[in-house]
Structure 1
Amino acid sequence: MAAIVPHCDDISPIIPYLYLGNYRAATNPTLLRNNGIRHVMSILSEREAISPDFKVETIQYKMVVKFDLPGEDMLLTLPECIEHLTTITKSQQGLLVHCMMGVSRSATVVLGFLMKTNGWPFEKALQVLISCRSVVNPNFGFRAQLRLFDRMGFRLDINNKELRLYMLNAIAFRNYTEQFHQNVVEYLRRLEALERTESATNQLSYTTVFRCVRCSRPVFTDLNLLEPHQHGGITTGGLMTGGSPMSALVPESNSCKYFLIEPIIWMIERDVLTSFPGNSTGKIPCPHCNALME
């Protein structure tokens, strides 16, 4: 096989032991060896994955399956990727992070790492990375996700309503008509895992508990509340907050008396979502007394 001649944009040093590059760099044994690279993190689709024929036995490979699409989720993967980059660079072993071109997907991971490690806002991290590798240009969806990561203090803040809505769209509503129920289960699993992590460092933050009018037991909190919605959700007729009917919180000028809430674990346990989508009645049974909350 003919030797691969490095191109000026194939690989770029970012900080000691961390390199950002493209597919050609990741499959060039000479280039990897000359830069002391012992680890390769690939941010690729399954079809783009490096063939075993192009892998080097002395190098450890990590694959993160992602497409370079604005709607692709990078945000929820960032903490794991950042931890990997931190561990390898601290061990003073060379690490190449790459995608096909070293422009968008892999740059997004390195940007997240620079932001968290240095406490830099997104725009500064981007400016620094471009100074190291001029072709860096994450797609607009990845930029939006990194800006949210910035606003959350470089972590996945489960108290952040933007994150909860992002997760709902990224997980529960992907392939919406085909596997909605399975997607919701996955969404709740991921949300529950994040809530457990969050509770270890910061208690879940909510100010209002919504209770069933009949049995007065908790149903959900304002952390689960998304926004008023004209086509679905739970109406104010079957709920109260504290000792006051929920209707007291709705302006008289607002003709909509529904509240849209995110899926909650008891909805799966009670099989509430089996008939969804298609059920537009807005009636959900209380998980405690089974009264319909209209």
Structure 2
Amino acid sequence: MSTVNFHKVIPGLFIGDSASSSSLDFLVDKNISRILICARELRPNFPKDFKYHKLGIQDMKRFDLSPYLEEALLFIKTALDIGENVLVHCNLGISRSSSIVIAYLIAQCGMTYDKAFKHLSKYHPSACPNSGFECQLRLFESNHKALKKDSCMCLIM
């Protein structure tokens, strides 16, 4: 297999490009069991071998990510909660998949957008959400902080 844009972000969570999702041997070697496709134009390569979820995201700065975030984060969290490895990918592994992983780091790891982007970039140097996605993720961070502040779990901690 040629060089792919595939990296581990946190235990169990991987990010990549379409090439990283197109080799059955590679995916099996990495113990991937679930694949989140973050691109309208891509299709599952091995639907009988992995559990897939597809988001019809387009890489355009005016595209609204918000309708997709809850289902994406639930798919990732469900996999990680039961100890399964999940690959999040788009075509090039630059904007769409990076945006979803950053949203996950904000929501589940309590990171700010800047900290999440820095963490992701450390392991996945090609991460670069488009400017529209960045604005939406900063708003997501702001809204998430407000929700977290009022949640019962935060009061217990």
Mapped pair 1:104 → 2:95: yes
The structural deviation recorded for 1:156 is 7.8
Separation in 2 of the partners of 1:33 and 1:149?
A: 33
Give the match for residue 43 of structure 2: 50
The structural deviation recorded for 1:50 is 2.0
1:27–1:50: 8 Å Cα contact kept in structure 2? no
Give the match for residue 155 of structure 2: none
Give the match for residue 11 of structure 1: 6
1:18–1:89: 8 Å Cα contact kept in structure 2? yes
Separation in 2 of the partners of 1:119 and 1:153?
A: 9
The superposition leaves residues 139-175 of structure 1 with CA deviations (integer Å, 9 ceiling, x where unpaired) of 0000000000111125889xxxxxxxxxxxxxxxxxx
Query: Which TM-score applies when normalising by structure 2?
Result: 0.88
Q: Please identify runs of 4+ aligned residues in structure 1 that moved more than 3 A.
A: 154-157
Choose the corresponding residue for 2:23, options 28, 41, 44. 28
User: Alignment identity in percent?
Assistant: 25
Mapped pair 1:131 → 2:122: yes
Q: How many residues align?
A: 151
Unaligned 5+ residue runs, structure 2? 152-157
Larger strand percent: 1
Q: Counterpart amino acid of 1:37?
A: I
Separation in 2 of the partners of 1:134 and 1:89?
A: 23
1:44–1:67: 8 Å Cα contact kept in structure 2? yes
RMSD across aligned positions (CA):
2.1
Give the match for residue 154 of structure 2: none
3-state secondary structure, aligned to 1:44: coil
Give the match for residue 147 of structure 1: 138
- Larger radius of gyration, structure 1 or 2? 1
Unaligned 5+ residue runs, structure 1? 158-200, 202-294
Mapped pair 1:62 → 2:53: yes
Question: Given the superposition, is the C-alpha separation of residues 49 and 156 from structure 1 closer, same or farther in structure 2, using an over 3 Å criterion?
Answer: farther
2:38–2:56: 8 Å Cα contact kept in structure 1? yes
The superposition leaves residues 185-219 of structure 1 with CA deviations (integer Å, 9 ceiling, x where unpaired) of xxxxxxxxxxxxxxxx7xxxxxxxxxxxxxxxxxx
1:43–1:97: 8 Å Cα contact kept in structure 2? yes
Give the match for residue 112 of structure 2: 121
Query: Which TM-score applies when normalising by structure 1?
Result: 0.48
Question: Given the superposition, is the C-alpha separation of residues 49 and 61 from structure 1 closer, same or farther in structure 2, using an over 3 Å criterion?
Answer: same
1:149–1:155: 8 Å Cα contact kept in structure 2? no
Larger helix percent: 2
